[in-house]
């Protein structure tokens, strides 16, 4: 069980921590330092690398989460409210991530390939909004996951 918990927490840290870094540190720095015509290219390369990690995190979160639900709690009925809330928000986050990956990120890659910085900027803005929503949900999940059983 310690392996499941460790992989689950590491996956959450990679995903939520990556979003926090991108939203709170990298985004403002990019706006201040990088010319608008190059921002789409930078975000395209950065998100390509980050999204590979997020896919791995999503898979591990699902596998380890359900592993723990069924081995520790004996199924959904034995899991507390905090587990159900964490699971529900996690699934919403995964759906938002899939939308970000398959729609605006795909369009961003196309805009970069077409050397269209205006369209790239629009797609980066859309991804930023989705990451912002997911970051809020992710921080809530961290609080619920770490302290929910004590509330």
For 86-109, how does the pLDDT look when each residue is reduced to its tens digit (9 = 90+)? 999 999 999 999 999 999 999 999
Of 10, 42, 13, 16, the closest CA to residue 131 belongs to 16
> H/E element holding 39?
helix 36-72
Task: Give the count of domains, the chain.
Answer: 1
User: How many CA atoms are closer than 13 Å to the CA of 36, on its beta-carbon side?
Assistant: 7
Residue 89 backbone phi and psi in degrees, to 5: -65, -35
Q: What is the pLDDT of residue 122?
A: 97
pLDDT at 151 over 90: no
When pLDDT is averaged across residues 35-63 and rounded to a whole number, the result is 96
Q: What percent of the chain has pLDDT over 70?
A: 100
Domain range holding 111?
2-150
Q: What is the pLDDT of residue 117?
A: 95
8 Å CB contact between 82 and 149: yes
103-150 pLDDT, tens digit per residue, is: 999 999 999 999 999 999 999 999 999 999 999 999 999 999 988 877
Residue 19 has which token pair?
């979003």
Give the total residue count for the chain.
151
Average pLDDT, the chain: 95
> pTM to 2 decimals?
0.93
- Cα–Cα distance, 141 to 90 (Å, whole number): 7
Q: What is the pLDDT of residue 148?
A: 82
8 Å CB contact between 133 and 70: no
Query: Which residues, 6+ apart, have CB-to-CB distance to 111 below 8 Å?
Result: 40, 117, 119, 120, 122, 123
8 Å CB contact between 146 and 9: no
């Amino acid at each position: 069980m310690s392996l499941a918990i460790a992989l689950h927490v590491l996956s959450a840290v990679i995903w939520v921590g990556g979003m926090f870094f991108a939203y709170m540190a990298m985004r403002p720095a990019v706006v201040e330092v990088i010319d608008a015509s190059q921002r789409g290219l930078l975000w395209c390369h950065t998100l390509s690398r980050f999204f590979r990690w997020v896919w791995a995190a999503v898979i591990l979160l699902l596998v380890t989460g359900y592993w723990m639900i069924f081995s520790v709690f004996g199924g959904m009925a034995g899991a507390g409210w905090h587990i159900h809330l964490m699971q529900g928000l996690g699934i919403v986050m995964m759906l938002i991530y899939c939308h970000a990956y398959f729609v605006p990120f795909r369009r961003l890659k196309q805009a970069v390939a077409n050397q269209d910085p205006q369209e790239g900027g629009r797609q980066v803005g859309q991804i930023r909004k989705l990451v912002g929503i997911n970051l809020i949900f992710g921080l809530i999940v961290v609080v619920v996951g770490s302290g929910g059983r004590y509330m």
